Amino acid sequence: NAADVEIAEGKYGNAGVFNGTSSNINLGKIAVPQGQSFTVGYWIKANENADSVVVGNKDWESGANTGWTTGIYKNAIKANTGYGSSDTEKRADTATYALSSGEWTYFTAVFDMNSKGTSTVTSYINGEEYSRKRVVAGNLESGLDTIIGMDSAAEKRFYSGMLDEFMLCSKALTP
């Protein structure tokens, strides 16, 4: 279900253009049972973004809220998970990578979730590992839809820029 997403020449073929005020693609509820690993990757060419969601299934009002997201904070991209607690063992934020306005960057977030023990969230920039964070195993089911381009809880934190070659896979892949 896409809203206000335009198409333009992208990194490879066509890309989605997100206007920062209303553009989004709702993928619906995607099950992420405890212990389910997954990977999200895409080419991103961001405009100025202070605090926006690229894709996720959570209310990013707090990174500790239950769910997962990749987003931009102060023009830098990162991956985040939370299990409903601000306890640092139940929340993971990869280091932020500063995006250059108008340049294409390939961002990958690998959520290697273990049903017991420790899980890891790893971000890759242009195919190179950039940041790895450990987090205790937990449930990333937020009850919210997975949405590209805005916060899953409300119409806010809209992404402004382009996305190309978007991929969401139900395994922990590495570039």
Give the model confidence (pLDDT) of 66-121 as tens digits: 999 999 988 899 999 988 777 777 888 999 999 988 899 999 999 998 867 788 99
25 and 161 in contact (C-beta within 8 Å)?
Answer: no
Output the pLDDT for position 57.
95
Output the pLDDT for position 91.
85
CA nearest to 165, candidates 156, 155, 151, 175: 175
Segment 38-43 shows an average pLDDT of: 96
Identify the helix (H) or strand (E) that includes residue 121: strand 118-125
pLDDT value at 161 more than 90: yes
Partners of residue 111 on adjacent β-strands: 38, 121
Segment 9-13 shows an average pLDDT of: 96
Output the pLDDT for position 136.
82
**β-strands 91-93, 14-19: how paired?**
unpaired
Q: What band does 148 get if pLDDT is binned at 50, 70 and 90?
A: very high
CA nearest to 122, candidates 164, 172, 159, 84: 172
Output the pLDDT for position 2.
87
